[in-house]
Structure formats: structure tokens, C-alpha cells
Amino acid sequence: MEQPQRIRLRLPEQDLHHLTLGSTNPKKMHEWVESLPMANVGESARLLYQLIQELNRLRTDGKTRFQLLESVRPALVHVERQLGKHYLGQSVVLPEKARKVAGLAQSLLMHLSVGYKLAAIDSIRKVRDKEFNRIATTSVHRAISAMGETLLRCYQLYVPIPKFLWLELHQVYLLADGHGIARQEVEDNTFRHVKSSTVQDAYARTLLLATARPNQLRQQEIELVWDATEEWCGRVVINDTRANSDIFAFDLQADAPPTYRKLASQHAGDTLRSVDAKAISAHLKIAADAGRLPERGAEFTFPRGFNRELAIHLAQAWGNLTERAFARLAASGSIEICVGIGATHYFISGGADFDMQIRGSNLKVLHEERDNPFLARQGKGGKDLDAGDPWSQAFDGGGGRMADNVDFSGVAISGVDSLLAENLRAKQQQAKPKFDSYGCAIVNSSPGGYCIEWTGDMPAHIRTGELIGLQEANAKAWSIGVIRWIKQLPGKGAQMGVELLAPKATPCATRAIKPSGEMSEWMRTLMLPELRAIGQEATLITPAIAFNTGYKVLVSLDGKETKASLYRQLNASAGFRQFLFRNLDMPAEAQEPGPAPGQPGGDDFDSIWSSL
């Protein structure tokens, strides 16, 4: 098949005639790989890194190069995945050592892809020959897979994609498509769920990952998306953009990932393609609406660990064109942030001890005679303590109760309460804060959120999907938001996109009521106020565990306990959940939302009449 496009690949010069490690004989190379000290990941990584660089400079034919690479690849892939333990699951801004390990892992994958590109170029000239056709097809598939793994690590670390990586991906796919091998099956023993896939499938898998809004996901969630697309990529259609309405488009001659079609260059002409993942989005939406994900063996399956919230995220990412509701405006200044429900609850409540909040800090008089032995008229067994007791009216006698004629009107007890409260505040100020807050810089802002910049090392618990409290300089109240995306800035720290959920919140405590009547432990929760402007009722923010739609809960707020039912989930992530709730201690008709602003009775002016 005649190639319609010129292929541009960046390949090293082959200037070596022999290897200092291993052998140019495929059989002996296999023996060398088998002798690697795989238990010592560091030493194995060092040897493989040196070998793969030399192998890419070795002057040899495509068939021999392919056989040598096939011997090396399993060990290299294994070592690269083992290296991930040293830099995944840490803070977004990695320590120096972890950053170097991540760089080594990326280099191993990139050098592996270069080797297979060399084998593909050498073999594709003889693609009509059955053996060379297999070598060329497998080499292209392996090169795309290695570049896909590189993309995966970049997205997991929230770092920029290496320059020319997307161009190389597009060009290798164009090479296969131009020679008619893009739809041929290739077996891969590193796959977890399938035995084989086509070159186009491997390429589509990278397109799916790029369009999944990975900067809004956590590392483990990005891994799950990559794992799932191993099976799903066969449902993707790559189209010519001239006669379709696909959401995403990309230029095969540009160093750029797919983007929204309306933002894609209209000057690409014949090199412009689009991604159709609507079939996958439809399956995801069905599964999310059903409330549970299909098990293995179904027509459309999910890897272990996949959850409904991630399915909703992907259904929206691949099925809808979403635009920012508010324009971001450049801004400057500082902002204080705290991360997580616990920290946000702590700072909003002024650092008050959670146990004290649950029990209540005010002294309560026990009015009920059955609860107060000093007021009790009956002893154990219901015996009347006053009967036959001539001393029962004396203030210092009787059967364990105070006399009825004692006058306490002249006793001042207000000072006791104020002294206790003052003493409690002093202890709290002296105590070391249980949670940390951090100062950040504002990059830009809008009514819907912020872009803030973090300088220096970042704590490991700052991740996408985490609840966050924000307090601008000179502001008294803490706003409530959620971290929607994170990206690293080379040498400058990181930036975070924060969506605002509410301008303020009220700290409270909540416990789940189990069907058996037993109750869970009290947990820190937040009550978000009603937002009439957008027609949203008051909501409850809870931890991601222990609470779910349909649960009955007990909410402790301002010393009062109220029974409620969580009837709809509005927001969810790995860090928190947001629910609409119904007060079960109040008649249902009293909970109907009032008229919206602008409608009759919707403007609450009752409180201002007396001041006019």
C-alpha cells in the first residue's frame, strides 16, 4: 500500500559493532537475561539500562534486533514496574531520590520503544514477506505499548509529557496504517486480561488515557483506567473528521494529544483524525445508573477495584463536551489551605477538641428527678424517701435529696461557666494543632474556584478528589472546595485546580445508624448551607467510608442531635461524599424547599421591614 504521508521518526545512529554486555546472538542474549540478579532491582536496572542503550546503537539487521529485544523486554518491563514502588504513592512533588528513580523508569521505556521502532523501520520494507510482516507488526505494537506505559507514568506523576512523544506515537501509527498492518493481531504476554490486540487497539488505548481527564484522577485511578482500556480499546473508532461529530480530534503530524474538536486545528487537512468512544461511554453510563458494576465474564467488564464514581467520571469525559462555567481571571495574593475532612472540620471549629464538641462544652443541669440523685423523691425499688423522715426538710439531711425550700436565687453561677470556657480556650491555644494548614499563592480565580500554586515539597495526602478548606487573606470564614486536578511544574512545585463547593460550612458530628439499631462511631462531618442561587438544598459532607445513599444517620449540631436520612448523593471521590438529606424529626411538608429567588414569595424580605 502506498504511504499517503511522510513519516518523521527520531532515531539514534547505529555506530556500534558489538555489545559490551550480553551477546549479539539471540540465544546467548536470552541466557544473559536469565542470569540477571532480579532480586536486586537496582543492579538489574543498571545493567538493563546500559544494555538497551547499546542495543539501540548496534549495527544489525531488523530480524536480529527484534529477536534481541524480545529476549530483553520481559525483564525490562518487570524491572520498570518494580521501580514504581519507589515513586508511586508518594507526594506529588517527589523527593530527589524518587524523582531520579522515576526518570530511570521513563528512560527504560523510552529506549525500549526506540529499539522496536528501529526494528519496525528495517522490517517494514519487506512487509509482503510473511515473517517480516509479523516482525514489523509486532515491533510497531511493542513500540506503541512502551510509549503508552511512558504516558501512564507521566499522568500518574502529573508531569509534562516528554517532547515529541505524541508526535512519535502518531507517526508510528501512521506508518502501520500506511502499510496495511494496523488491524493485525499481536500477542503480548504482559497483558493482564486479553491475549492479543491490534496495532490500532494499542494506539487507541493511549488516546483513551489522554482523553480520560487523568489530571483529575488519583494515581491508583489512572492505573485502573489503563488496566480497563486493555479490554475496552477495541471499541474505539478512529475516524476522518470531515463527516462526523466526534468530541475529540488530533493531528497526526503534530506533537499534541487529542483535544476537543472545536479547539483542534482546522488547517490539518488530511492528517486530522477524531476519536469515537461513545460506545464505551454508553456502557459506563448504564453500569453507573444501575448502581453496581458487572462482574468478570459479562459483555462489558471492569477490573477489580473499579468503582461507580470512576465510571461516572469516564462516562462524562468520553461522552460529553464540558466547558468551564466561569472564566478564570489572573489574580495574586496568598491563601491558606487545609486538606481533608478532619483538617477542615478542625479549623472551621476554631481548633476545638472533637470529643468536647460531641459531649458539649456547657454544663447541663439534670432536671429529671430520675437522673439526679440529689432531686430524687424515691430510692431503689420505688421506696418514698420522704415517708416517716422528720429530717427530710433539712437542707443537710434527708434521704439523699435537697430540701424543697432552699433558695438559690442569690447564688451566682455564670462566673463558673465563663471560667470553664476560658480555661478550655487557654488549653486549646497551648496545645499543638492536630492538623496542619499551608500557605499557597493564588494564580487565578473565578466564582467557581481557584488555581493555586504550591512551592516546595508537597505532603503525600494532597491528592485529586480530596476535600479542601480555603481561607483568603483577611477573610474570617473558611470556604469549602475539592481538588479537581494537579500538575507538576518543573523546578517550581505544583499547581492545583480547586472547585468551590460552598462559601462556608458548619462543623458537626455524624454517626450511621445500622439496620440492627447499632450506631457507628461519631465522625467529623460538615454541613454546607443551602445555596438558593443554584437551587441546592443544604447538604452533608461525610468521609467516603461508612456512609451511603439510603442510610439513616444521627447528626450532632450545636449540642442538638437530629435523626436524618441520606437520600441522594451529589458528589463523591476517594476522599469524601456529599449528600442531600431529609430531617426525620421534622414533618415532611415542613422540609419542602421554598420558592426560588425571583418567584412569588422567593425573596426573603421579612427580616428587613422593621429597619426600613
- Contact predicate 24/18, CB 8 Å: yes
Confidence bin at 370 (pLDDT 50/70/90): very low
CA distance 388 to 398: 11
pLDDT at 65 over 60: yes
**Which of 178, 109, 183 shows the shortest CA–CA distance to 141?**
183
pLDDT at 466 over 50: yes
Q: What is the pLDDT of residue 476?
A: 84
Confidence bin at 4 (pLDDT 50/70/90): low
Sign of the dihedral through C-alpha 44, 48, 51, 53:
negative
pLDDT at 407 over 60: no
Higher-scoring residue by pLDDT: 467, 536: 467
Residue 374 backbone dihedrals phi, psi, to 5 degrees: -80, -15
pLDDT at 241 over 70: yes
Higher-scoring residue by pLDDT: 49, 557: 49
Q: What is the pLDDT of residue 415?
A: 63
pLDDT at 612 over 50: no
Q: What is the pLDDT of residue 147?
A: 97
pLDDT at 81 over 90: yes
From 40-44, 305-309, 394-398, 563-567, the region with the lowest mean pLDDT: 394-398
Distances (CA, A) of 562 to 6, 141, 508, 539, 581: 70, 60, 11, 14, 11
Q: pLDDT tens-digit profile of 544-575?
A: 888 988 899 999 988 788 999 999 988 888 88
Higher-scoring residue by pLDDT: 597, 29: 29
CA distance 257 to 240: 16
Q: pLDDT tens-digit profile of 411-446?
A: 555 566 666 666 666 665 555 668 899 999 999 888
- Contact predicate 446/328, CB 8 Å: yes
C-alpha cell belonging to residue 318: 468520553
pLDDT at 79 over 50: yes
- Contact predicate 377/386, CB 8 Å: yes
Highest mean pLDDT pick, 140-154, 463-477, 481-495: 140-154
From 361-365, 478-482, 500-504, the region with the lowest mean pLDDT: 361-365
Q: What is the pLDDT of residue 404?
A: 55
CA distance 395 to 548: 55
Q: What is the pLDDT of residue 432?
A: 60
Domain 329-352+434-502 grouped into CATH 2.60.40.1120: no
Q: What is the mean pLDDT of residues 49-57?
A: 95
- Contact predicate 367/460, CB 8 Å: no
Rounded to the nearest angstrom, the gap between the alpha carbon of residue 77 and the centroid of all alpha carbons in its chain is: 26
Provide the angle, in degrees to the nearest 10, between the axes of the packed helices 219-232 and 308-319. Answer: 70
pLDDT at 18 over 70: yes
Q: What is the pLDDT of residue 144?
A: 98
Matching fold, domains 329-352+434-502 and 506-592: yes
Q: What is the pLDDT of residue 327?
A: 61
In the predicted model, what is the mean pLDDT of the chain? Answer: 83
CA distance 268 to 219: 34
Ordered by start, the domain boundaries in the chain are 1-182, 329-352+434-502, 506-592
Confidence bin at 610 (pLDDT 50/70/90): very low
Q: What is the pLDDT of residue 361?
A: 40
Dihedral angle of Cα 58, 64, 70, 73, to the nearest 10 degrees: 0
Rounded to the nearest angstrom, the gap between the alpha carbon of residue 464 and the centroid of all alpha carbons in its chain is: 4
CA distance 588 to 564: 12
Highest mean pLDDT pick, 291-305, 337-351, 370-384: 337-351
3-state SS record for 511-532? EEECCCCCECCCEEEEEECCEH
Confidence bin at 262 (pLDDT 50/70/90): confident
From 62-71, 174-183, 394-403, the region with the lowest mean pLDDT: 394-403
Q: What is the pLDDT of residue 528?
A: 92
In the chain, the percentage of residues whose pLDDT exceeds 90 is 50
Q: pLDDT tens-digit profile of 82-135?
A: 999 999 988 888 888 999 999 999 999 999 999 999 999 999 988 889 999 999
In the chain, the percentage of residues whose pLDDT exceeds 70 is 79
Dihedral angle of Cα 559, 560, 561, 562, to the nearest 10 degrees: -140
Confidence bin at 339 (pLDDT 50/70/90): very high
Residue type, 127: V
From 1-10, 385-394, 429-438, 483-492, the region with the lowest mean pLDDT: 385-394
Q: Using alpha carbons only, what angle is made at residue 235 by residues 229 and 239, rounded to the nearest 5 degrees?
A: 115
CA distance 199 to 208: 14
CA distance 480 to 466: 11
Write down the CATH number for the domain with range 506-592: 2.40.10
- Contact predicate 265/251, CB 8 Å: yes
